[in-house]
Amino acid sequence: MRAVLQRVSTASVTVAGATVGRIDRGLLVLLGVTVGDTEADLTYIVERTIGLRVFPDADGRMNVDVRATGGALLVVSQFTIAGDCRKGRRPSWDGAARPDDARVWYERALDAWRAHGVPVEAGVFQADMQVALVNDGPVTVLLDSRKQF
């Protein structure tokens, strides 16, 4: 499982002209489910996301996690994060989980973040989405449950 986290001052996702998710201060999470993901992969991504200290403390140092700020998550499924660009000029999507499997893991991730008490908004799985954000910092972090990067 892979995720791209962006610290945002605001973010939203729109489907067919309607806003389906919106947050103010928090993290935009672009989540990619990969072939063979397990409970351990899910736990890694969920716990890392909520535990990362990427928000400033009173001294301006990145020392505070999303829960401590009262922030939220906007989670968007994105199979392209599982792309492999090491060969040729066209990414290979072979590492991305099949849609039926990916949907299950995506929904389980949403439930897990909510169980940790973090407010969560979400995109629509497999929809054509438009994501808007104001990257705060900018701060962008990459996570890979198998630590491939």
Q: Where in the sequence numbering do the catalytic residues fall? A: 78-80
Name beta bridge partners: 130: 14
Q: CB neighbours (10 Å) of residue 66?
A: 26
Give which of 62, 57, 24 is closest to 141, Cα–Cα: 62
Which spans in the chain are helix H? 39-51, 66-69, 99-115
- DSSP annotation of 17 reads T
- Scored b (16 or more CB within 10 A) or e, 98-123 reads eeeebeebbeebbebbeeeebebbbb
